[in-house]
Amino acid sequence: MALIVHKYGGTSMGSTERIRNVAKRVAKWARAGHQMVVVPSAMSGETNRLLGLAKELASGTPNDEHNRELDMLASTGEQASSALLAIALQSEGLQAVSYAGWQVQVKTDSAFTKARIERIDDERVRADLDAGKVVVITGFQGVDDAGNITTLGRGGSDTSAVAIAAAMKANECLIYTDVDGVYTTDPRVEPDARRLATVSFEEMLEMASLGSKVLQIRSVEFAGKYKVPLRVLSSFTPWDIDINEEAKSGTLITFEEDENMEQAVVSGIAFNRDEAKISVLGVPDKPGIAYHILGAVADANIEVDVIIQNLSKDGRTDFSFTVHRNDYARAVDLLKAKVLPTLGAADIVGDTKICKVSIVGIGMRSHVGVASKMFRVLSEEGINIQMISTSEIKTSVVIDEKYMELAVRALHKAFDLDQPAA
């Protein structure tokens, strides 16, 4: 008997018929002798609907009081889907019980709308599993030490599922989505994208951080930290597929590089449209300038990605970095109000029509010339590179947004990602 955690996304829970199919799939696993914990997302569109209502009623700048109520509101979507799934499981003849995050308890810090999990009390869940029940736990949410309901940010149900699997030392965590695994790139951009049978944790972490929407990055971080066996697979395969076939489908995220893994120099192409570039021009080239600029941005809880400082000329330099496009206007206003007057910089300029394209692969560690090949391919397509960022297993470039799809397709072909694995 294995302890298995299933996570189902919003599209998988999008209607009563889909919830019924999820229940049948979970029941199949339970009847095969497994202890089952299920973490569902809210029904597709529900969280956006609830937050839209709040936006209609809200006024002024969001603060902790406002964000606390947003968490109270948004958490109800998962509570509804969890209760509905438990009812559907009971209709399948199983004993099932649903819990909200505050009942389990999933303890978090008090950062409303973007809380982080600190610990999980699984005693209640283990007692129910030992009694033969299927346990359904709301994703996306928890409770802080003051008893406030908190949420983990968009995509947080992935993190909930992996954290619960880690706390309970589950044999495997299966993430059911509307795609059948992790692909070499987005098939909507490159039709010849190929599904990977396996991908390393490091590669998946990079892909998630670089814009791949298959898994939330924090869920991958949890999986890596606690060595949770993780598999991404489709919830739209027939629920009555043979369980042994289903258990080997999708993409397995592995933690060991072995001879059975696909040995490609580059495993995937990731991209992110949600980037904006900010340049602070003519700042004094002296110690502490980077901190002065980015410290103010960090204090405003704005994440910075690619950073470049140009060569100094006449004691001055240009300092550029990228932020999420949603944070662009706020970051520029902040810099103009707090940084520009004290730095003596010439100007602050920006560009919201950029994107980031990245190649990722553990094979890059042992192969030279991978980055130069990437640059050559982009050059041949007439694509200018504005910024470059590298790590041991990835190279990212910032380019004009209008060239994104061309860049992805050209790189996908150049690195033979459209070819079957050897």
- How high is the mean pLDDT of the chain? 91
Q: How far is the first Cα of the chain from the last one, in angstroms, to the nearest whole number?
A: 35
d(CA 196, CA 182): 6
d(CA 367, CA 360): 13
327 C-beta neighbours (distance < 10 Å), count: 19
**Does domain 268-414 bear CATH number 2.40.30.10?**
no
CATH 3.40.1160.10 maps onto the chain at: 3-179+214-228
d(CA 98, CA 104): 10
Give the 3-state secondary structure of 354-419. Answer: EEEEEEECHHHHCCCCHHHHHHHHHHHCCCCCCEEEEECCEEEEEEEHHHHHHHHHHHHHHCCCCC
Res. 177: pLDDT tops 50: yes
pLDDT value at residue 261: 47
Res. 260: pLDDT tops 70: no
pLDDT band per the 50, 70, 90 thresholds, residue 170: very high
CATH 3.30.2130.10 maps onto the chain at: 268-414
Average pLDDT over residues 378-386: 97
Q: Measure the CA dihedral 113/114/118/123, to 10°.
A: 50
d(CA 383, CA 264): 25
Residues 6+ apart with CB under 8 A from 120: 104, 105, 106, 107, 163, 164, 167
d(CA 312, CA 45): 50
* β pairing state of 134-137 and 35-40: parallel
Res. 262: pLDDT tops 70: no
Average pLDDT over residues 17-32: 97
Res. 278: pLDDT tops 70: yes
d(CA 74, CA 10): 13
| DSSP letter, residue 335 | I
Q: At what angle do helices 370-380 and 404-414 cross, to 10 degrees?
A: 130
Select the more confidently predicted residue: 152 or 422: 152
* β pairing state of 198-200 and 172-177: unpaired
225 C-beta neighbours (distance < 10 Å), count: 12
d(CA 145, CA 140): 17
Residue 38, both tokens: 């299920």
pLDDT value at residue 344: 76
**Widest CA span in the chain:** 78
**Beta strands per DSSP E along 184-267:** 198-200, 230-234, 251-254
Tell me which fold the domain 3-179+214-228 belongs to.
Carbamate kinase (3.40.1160)
pLDDT tens-digit series, residues 318-346: 999 999 999 999 999 999 888 888 887 88
Q: Which of 102, 114, 210 is closest to 156 using CA atoms? A: 114
Residue 305, both tokens: 């990605």
For the whole prediction, is pTM greater than 0.85? no
Res. 264: pLDDT tops 80: no
Res. 172: pLDDT tops 70: yes
pLDDT value at residue 209: 79
Residue 52, both tokens: 């839209």
Average pLDDT over residues 149-163: 92
| DSSP letter, residue 64 | H
H/E element, 283: strand 268-284
